[in-house]
Structure 1
Amino acid sequence: LLIASALLPQWSFFLSTRVLIGMAVSGVAAVAMTYIGEEIAAKDVGFAMGLYISGTAIGGMSGRLIAGVLVDFISWQYATLIIGVINLAIAILFYWLLPNSRNFQSYPIQLSRFKQAFAKNLADPKLRILFLQGFILMGCFVSVFNYMSYHLLDAPFALPQTWIGLISVAYLAGIYSSPRAAQWGQKFGREKVLPLMLLVMWASLALMLLNQLAVVLVGLLIFTFAFFAAHSLCSSWVTVQSLQYRAVGSSLYLFCYYLGSSVLGSGSGLIWERWDWPGLLIFIASLLLLGLILTLYLKKLSSTAPTAQIKN
């Protein structure tokens, strides 16, 4: 789809490919989270999920970095084509190298089973909070990265496009924090580490409000570090909490996750147009505060409810 959108760059066709790419990406992520939940021992699910999230951070950084740098030298069509070819090569390697599933159990496709799976997941108050948390986390993260570019293009920074593309190296912080978050969760408890990561994200916004480039970039690094740690904790928590309905639990989390990217990521543009960067950061801070309150409630539920038994 990336290659096709580069070769046939009409707006309507390009927009259609973006919709289909979004569907494909979310499908890949849902199946990957389910695969990890089925194939990895329960005690190692958190760390494995952290490594997977690190991989998404590497991909996110590479895509932004490659495209951000290349568009100063070649057209966006050629930049998209290059990324598409890289993705095709990775997909072929993935097909050859991924071990076959050993614990997968197939079920007939029945509407009643899907309805039961959705009902079971949505009836769990912990999962409902985790789904909403994914919406908030991704929405805030995408909003910061999308409009940070415009912020740095404006005065007093006035950075060239190549340097704007390089801000994606902040993803390196997420590559480190994703698997580490699993270790922190095992040591201190996910219900304690998750609100801390949200609080760190919230505090880092103050650094990004200042008009000193180095301080803004440090704030972005801290924000990215805490986001990927929080996302890793939520993803592994959903996988464990979903019991035998992991595929649906993962898909619901990712639905909310990408819905946050779409709704908040685009809606933040209205905040940016009216109140500029300070208004946008206040809006994101409000969302993170809501997420923190929900996480504290999740902590209360974890301390009062019995631990669920995992079923493969």
Structure 2
Amino acid sequence: MTFESSPAQPPQGPTPLSPQEFKATVEGILTNVEWVIEGKSHTIKLAIAVMLAEGHLLLEDVPGVGKTQLAKALARSVDCSVRRIQFTPDLLPSDVTGVSIFDPEKRDFVFKPGAIFGNLILGDEINRASPKTQSALLECMEERQVTVDGNTYKLRSPFMVIATQNPVEMEGTYPLPEAQRDRFTARLAIGYPDVNAELALLDRREEYNPLDALRPVADADMIVRMIAAARAVHLAPELKRYVVDLVTATRTNAQVRLGASPRATLQLLRCTQVLAAMDGRDFALPDDVQQLAVPVLAHRLIPTTETTMGGGDTKAIVSDILRHVPVVSNPGRF
């Protein structure tokens, strides 16, 4: 008797949210965070897009503009496990990943999880930690797992690192290595508020801390379903080629010593899908790519010495590439 083997079935994933539920949940998170960080809707929208693209976010700006407040507001808007790591020069890699400790009763080593074991990880002033400690995040951020003493431990989904840092020219900081920067999906700057927003901030803070009033509008399961919904957004072959052309242009630009990696290409496409879903579309457009190109690509580029000495800026380089790379036509549903 012979038996015919049936084809293997792919594992069942989470049920995606409907477009209406997706948009309503995003608006709820956006409203929550805007209650704390006023007048920065576009920055907050991009931060949410990074989370739903299963990426990691680097908030880089001068002290006091609300980097940590933005990270905490986003974390409090989602009902999931949140861990905070205050990066300092004496922080050890084991403080981040965990350590195996000998248990006399069990007469064996027991793993004690570090601060990285959570859904949303707030890494405050990441560039104040030593390069050795910064490198402890490499495996976590890319492979969503931790290896300690030969044992590998999976991290729970969703998993996102939101790190803040002051500009690297400030005293007492360590520049992030290239491999670390490349693992951050996007780098955002908040900037100073306008006059009206700053006045509103003063009035609101007289009564209470806005963070204390925040309530979750989504949970971990809902975020996973939103991630699945964003992954279903259609990417036309022409749009994929446009993204590849943009990334390739960073590698051949005369002002750039090291261009964007294939990881950057993948993450730019993932964020593009999320941005389309936020607008209620099931297909992505070049406009989505263009909104994301600078925050996703600029921090990965290493300019030449001549460009740096001449005051060149990687954001300006990416903006110039956007102007010169031809935009695809009719990249919609076909």
Please report the TM-score for the alignment, with normalisation by the length of structure 2.
Answer: 0.27
Which is strand-richer, 1 or 2? Answer: 2
Q: Which has the higher helix share?
A: 1
- TM-score, structure 1 as length reference: 0.29
Structure index of larger Rg: 2
